[in-house]
Copies of this chain bind each other. A is one copy, B any other.
Amino acid sequence: MSKDKQFVFGHQNPDTDAIASAISYSYLENKRGENTEAVALGKPNDETQFALDYFGVKAPRVIKSALPEVNKVMLVDHNESQQSVSDIDKVTVTHVVDHHRVNFSKPQPMYYTAKPWGCCCSIIKSLFDKYGVEVPKKIAGMMMSAIISDTLLLKSPTTTPFDKKIIKDLAKIAGVDDIHAYGIKELKAGTNVDDKDAKTLIDTDAKSYTLGGKSIRIAQINVVDLNDITKRKAEVKQAMADENKSEGYDLFLGMVTDVLNSDSDLIAVGDPKLAVEQAFNGKLDADGMMKAPGVVSRKKQVVPPLTKALGKK
Instruction: List the interface of chain A (C-beta within 8 A of B).
Output: 89-90, 96, 99-116, 130, 299-300, 303-304, 307-308, 312-313
Given A89-B313, A130-B130, A313-B89, check contact A106 B112 (CB 8 Å).
no
List 26 A-B residue pairs with CB atoms under 8 Å apart, sorted by A's residue number. A90-B313, A100-B109, A101-B105, A101-B106, A101-B109, A102-B105, A102-B106, A102-B109, A103-B106, A104-B104, A104-B105, A105-B105, A107-B303, A107-B312, A108-B304, A109-B114, A109-B115, A109-B299, A110-B114, A110-B116, A111-B114, A112-B112, A112-B114, A113-B113, A113-B114, A130-B130
Determine the chain B residues whose CB is within 8 A of the CB of A110 once the complex forms.
101-102, 114, 116
Determine the chain B residues whose CB is within 8 A of the CB of A113 once the complex forms.
112-114
Determine the chain B residues whose CB is within 8 A of the CB of A307 once the complex forms.
107
Contact B107 A308 (CB under 8 A): yes
Copies of this chain in its oligomeric complex: 2
- Alpha-carbon distance between A303 and B109 when the two chains are bound, in angstroms: 11
Considering the complex, give the chain B residue whose CB is closest to the CB of A300. Answer: B109
Considering the complex, give the chain B residue whose CB is closest to the CB of A105. Answer: B103
Contact B116 A108 (CB under 8 A): yes
Considering the complex, give the chain B residue whose CB is closest to the CB of A107. Answer: B307
Q: How far is the CB of A120 from chain B (nearest CB, A)?
A: 11
Determine the chain B residues whose CB is within 8 A of the CB of A99 once the complex forms.
109
Determine the chain B residues whose CB is within 8 A of the CB of A105 once the complex forms.
101-105
Q: How far is the CB of A33 from chain B (nearest CB, A)?
A: 14
Considering the complex, give the chain B residue whose CB is closest to the CB of A109. Answer: B116
Partner of A104, one of B102, B109, B130: B102
List 6 additional contacts besides A109-B116, A113-B113; criterion CB under 8 Å: A96-B102, A101-B109, A102-B110, A103-B104, A104-B104, A110-B116
Q: How far is the CB of A87 from chain B (nearest CB, A)?
A: 11
- Alpha-carbon distance between A101 and B105 when the two chains are bound, in angstroms: 8
- Alpha-carbon distance between A312 and B111 when the two chains are bound, in angstroms: 21
